[in-house]
């Protein structure tokens, strides 16, 4: 019996190559399943076979989007696949971006069905959910056991060209596609039923969710930099050596505020990174590579800027939920407003 040839895309971590120190590894392929692919094989229908796995480092992929996509597609095409499965990426941002980009490119260029899995807040989900099927997963690899069967089920449906149900029925992120269906009740009756529920304060499902435009109005430019007070904020986890507030390396539960009075340069004896989502070697050697205090002091001395605000704020943006990021930024913002800063430089890794 002819089997359905599946190729699986993974990052360096799930591809069992290594952690952040291997995140800049260039794409390569292996025959058969690797890591979560082994569990995926168990969950897939009997006539579906993972013929190969393509692995690429998350940092390499995101820093070389176009070149990496080309290389990954070529490797995938080499296996003559009928279907591509990527991830799942959970809430890993760079991995999610890579899974989304690979799936979208493969769907377009190789004309085969693709599916991946992510947590809703993964930036890759927002970016690619309209183009591809993204199975909704939990926010960490602890949810792998739940994610695999869901991914396998959707992969089977896609491979067989079966009719896809609604996002809620099938467990994927809404793609914004509207399909005509015949409903036993006419629209006016459904609308009245909904209104009655609403009036009674009961939950109801709208048939036409409004898009959420979560944007802020750009604030006017600083008129005179030489009089401006500029603040530094980072999600790159730069903290005084020893991490006094014990900011967690992932899913940080807090942010820190640190004094820069009298500090003209961050060095390896005084500052380090608490971030667990990138290779810390370079930031630990010289934290100015993430939080540019040395250059800001230079510019302050030369009068290019009025002054550098003497407190900087840091958290770790690794697996952080949007709700927490917003909460920390709100608290930081309240303080910076009190301090009457004129502009903010936020650095991210």
CA distances from 186 to 61, 183, 189 (A): 50, 7, 6
Number of residues that bind another protein (CB under 8 A): 68
Say if CB 10 and CB 35 are below 8 A apart.
Answer: yes
Identify which range of 10-18, 105-113, 154-162, 293-301 contacts another protein by CB under 8 A. 293-301
Return the DSSP state at 56: E
* 310-349: contacts with another protein (CB under 8 A): 315, 317, 325-326, 328-330, 332-334, 336-337, 341-349
The whole-angstrom separation of Cα 15 and Cα 13 is 5
Of these, 279, 300, 306, 307, which contacts another protein (CB under 8 A)?
A: 279
Rounded to the nearest whole angstrom, what is the least distance from the CB of residue 53 to another protein in the complex? 24
Rounded to the nearest whole angstrom, what is the least distance from the CB of residue 223 to another protein in the complex? 8
Say if CB 331 and CB 251 are below 8 A apart.
Answer: no
Cβ nearer to another protein, comparing 139 with 153: 139
Buried b (16+ CB within 10 A) or exposed e, 105-134: bbbeebebbbbbbbbebbebbbebbebbbb
Cβ nearer to another protein, comparing 41 with 344: 344
Of these, 290, 311, 314, 316, which contacts another protein (CB under 8 A)?
A: 290
26 lies in the binding site for another protein (CB under 8 A): no
* 169-188: contacts with another protein (CB under 8 A): none
Say if CB 113 and CB 83 are below 8 A apart.
Answer: yes
The whole-angstrom separation of Cα 337 and Cα 343 is 10
The whole-angstrom separation of Cα 1 and Cα 45 is 13
- Binding residues (CB under 8 A) for another protein: these are 20, 23, 59, 62-63, 65, 93-94, 97, 123, 126-127, 214-216, 218-223, 225, 228, 230, 233, 235-236, 278-283, 285-286, 288-292, 294-296, 298-299, 304-305, 315, 317, 325-326, 328-330, 332-334, 336-337, 341-349
């Amino acid at each position: 019996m002819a089997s359905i040839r599946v190729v699986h895309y993974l990052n360096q971590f799930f591809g069992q190559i290594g952690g952040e120190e291997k995140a800049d590894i260039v794409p390569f392929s292996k025959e058969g399943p690797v890591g979560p692919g082994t569990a995926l094989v168990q969950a897939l229908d009997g006539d579906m076979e993972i013929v190969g796995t393509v692995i690429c480092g998350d940092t390499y992929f995101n820093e070389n989007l176009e070149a990496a996509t080309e290389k990954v597609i070529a490797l995938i095409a080499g296996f003559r696949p009928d279907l591509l499965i990527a991830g799942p990426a959970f809430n890993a941002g760079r991995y999610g971006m890579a899974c989304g980009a690979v799936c979208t490119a493969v769907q377009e260029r190789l004309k085969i069905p693709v599916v991946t899995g992510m947590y809703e807040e993964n930036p890759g989900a927002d970016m690619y959910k309209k183009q591809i099927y993204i199975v909704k997963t939990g926010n960490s690899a602890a949810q792998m056991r739940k994610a695999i069967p869901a991914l396998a089920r959707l992969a089977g449906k896609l491979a067989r060209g079966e009719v896809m149900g609604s996002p809620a029925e099938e467990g994927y992120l809404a793609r914004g596609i509207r399909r005509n269906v015949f409903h036993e009740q006419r629209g006016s009756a459904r609308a009245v039923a909904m209104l009655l529920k609403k009036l009674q304060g009961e939950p109801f499902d709208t048939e036409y969710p409004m898009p959420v435009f979560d944007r802020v109005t750009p604030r006017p430019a600083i008129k005179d930099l030489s009089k401006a007070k500029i603040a530094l904020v980072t999600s790159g986890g730069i903290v005084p050596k020893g991490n006094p507030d014990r900011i967690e390396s992932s899913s940080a539960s807090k942010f820190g505020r640190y004094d820069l009075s009298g500090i003209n340069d961050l060095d390896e004896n005084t500052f380090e990174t608490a971030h667990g989502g990138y290779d810390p070697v370079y930031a630990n050697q010289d934290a100015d590579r993430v939080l540019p205090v040395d250059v800001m002091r230079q510019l302050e001395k030369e009068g290019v800027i009025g002054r550098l605000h003497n407190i900087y704020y840091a958290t770790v943006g690794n697996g952080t939920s949007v709700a927490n990021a917003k909460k920390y930024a709100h608290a930081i913002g309240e303080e910076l407003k009190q301090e009457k800063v004129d502009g903010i430089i936020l650095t991210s890794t």
